[in-house]
Structure 1
Amino acid sequence: MFKDRDEAGWRLVERLRDTVVQKPLVLAIPRDVVLSRKLRSPYQPELATGAVTENGEVYLNHFASAMTDVGSAYVEAERGRQLDEITRRKTAIRAVRPRASLADRTVIVTDDGIATGATMIAALKMVRAAGAREVIVAVPVGAPDRIDAIRPLCDQVVCLLEPIDFWAVGQFYRHFEPVSDTRVLELLREYGLPRTKWEHPAAVHA
């Protein structure tokens, strides 16, 4: 159990601190250089039937799609809706943090947890296509079967908790309030500068 995203993030930092990587770059889903959005089930909006990345590539979770009887017309319409939202966010975020080149770099892709894995899988495909040398997935918590599904798509997975009794990412945080776009932009402006080593953001301004 984590107190909040901040604690979870620093526990990941401790786990990754001794990891030797070449030209590292940390990317967060969904509001960083990796912009992706889940494709929502028409009946259960919190259930991801798939995901779409900013380049329009779609990944479908076929099990979830079959379970909710999602047709191709709905998927295409939902893809359009989520691409519109990605475009809106990209305009704001890239004004603060331009997209970095991933070519020949070790890319660490992180999220606050993995439930269906749809957005992570879509993001990993995009990162690989962008020429990353090595891809590491780092998450605080994930459903064990979804973590297993992700392993073949990256070079290493760092997951602090893989509980068998997994229902939703939020159940493993005492505080899991939504993070607004405004707050994300504030954090990118304050801490979104390059670093050469793992260090707490507060140390940058010390």
Structure 2
Amino acid sequence: MADPRRFSDRAEAGARLGAALRDRGVDADVVLAIPRGGLPLGRAVADALDAPLDIVVAQKIGAPGNPEYAIGAVASDGTVWRNEEAFSRTGSDEDYFEREREREAENARGKVEQYRGDRPAPDLTGKRVVVVDDGVATGSTVRACLRMLADRDAERIVLAVPVGPPRTVDELSAMADDVVCLLTPSGFMGVGQFYERFDQVSDEEAMSYLELDE
């Protein structure tokens, strides 16, 4: 019997997320997945909601000497979110943050070009948008994405993730019109602990989920 507190893989997490969104009566004009790990779930959610799938991209800004520890994130259009507590605690300074912001914004733009190719970005004006990722920990990249989308005149933005710690999910609820999160465990150590299989998703695999809409 499947463990309801875990997901077998991203495909199952996406299917459960899509069913939860349908049950809540969430409608979508477009589903935006965060590459790479969000795209397998985004495909399942887009199919469940009968909506096209596209991407929204942000890159983490790592701390000096510890690139895996996020002190912020920047979206592909340069929109930035900064974790002021982490920024202060890691001894970062404004010059370092600005250099990394510019570098990671360029990386984010490159990823958008790689994934989207010649296809134009979807016009979100007046649209109902569902943003999907495979889970949140600090939620840094999701925060930068939501901040960018807030300026795109969408009618409604719903964040949908399978799992995240209660504090992060609560904070993200202030940045979206609604947040759908299937699991909010208090003993949260990392997203991967809630998946039986949590392999890294390659760019090639991630892009294959978008090709189904072409």
Q: What interval of TM-score do these two structures reach, taking the shorter chain for normalisation?
A: 0.7 to 0.9
The alignment's TM-score, normalised by the length of structure 2, stands at 0.83
* Displacement after TM superposition at 1:57 (Å): 1.4
Tell me the distance in 2 between the aligned counterparts of 1:89 and 1:102. Answer: 20
The yes-or-no answer on 1:12 pairing with 2:17 is yes
Q: Does the 8 A contact of 2:77 with 2:109 survive in 1?
A: no
Of residues 51, 55, 60, the one that matches 2:77 is 55
Of residues 15, 26, 30, the one that matches 1:25 is 30
Residues 6-26 of structure 1, C-alpha deviations (whole Å, 9 max, x = no match): 111111011011343555211
User: Which residue identity does 1:192 align to in structure 2?
Assistant: D
Partner of 1:75, secondary structure, is helix
Residue in structure 1 matched with residue 144 of structure 2 by the alignment:
122
Tell me the distance in 2 between the aligned counterparts of 1:18 and 1:3. Answer: 21
Task: List alignment gaps of at least 5 residues for structure 2.
Answer: 1-5, 37-53
Q: Does the 8 A contact of 1:112 with 1:139 survive in 2?
A: yes
Tell me the distance in 2 between the aligned counterparts of 1:110 and 1:17. Answer: 14
Of residues 154, 162, 168, the one that matches 2:184 is 162
User: Which residue identity does 1:20 align to in structure 2?
Assistant: G
Of residues 90, 98, 122, the one that matches 2:120 is 98
The alignment's TM-score, normalised by the length of structure 1, stands at 0.86
Q: Does the 8 A contact of 1:50 with 1:58 survive in 2?
A: yes
Residues 28-55 of structure 1, C-alpha deviations (whole Å, 9 max, x = no match): 1145531111111223322211110111
Partner of 2:30, secondary structure, is strand
Tell me the distance in 2 between the aligned counterparts of 1:116 and 1:140. Answer: 14
Of residues 7, 11, 34, the one that matches 1:2 is 7
* Displacement after TM superposition at 1:133 (Å): 0.4
Tell me the distance in 1 between the aligned counterparts of 2:55 and 2:121. Answer: 6
Q: Does the 8 A contact of 1:40 with 1:46 survive in 2?
A: yes
* Displacement after TM superposition at 1:81 (Å): 2.1
Partner of 1:45, secondary structure, is strand
Residue in structure 2 matched with residue 64 of structure 1 by the alignment:
86
Percent of aligned pairs with the same residue? Answer: 42
- Computed over aligned residues only, the root mean square deviation of the Cα atoms, in angstroms, reads 1.7
Partner of 1:47, secondary structure, is strand
Tell me the distance in 2 between the aligned counterparts of 1:20 and 1:106. Answer: 12
* Displacement after TM superposition at 1:65 (Å): 1.5
Residue in structure 1 matched with residue 110 of structure 2 by the alignment:
88
* Displacement after TM superposition at 1:178 (Å): 1.4
Tell me the distance in 1 between the aligned counterparts of 2:113 and 2:182. Answer: 33
Residue in structure 1 matched with residue 48 of structure 2 by the alignment:
none
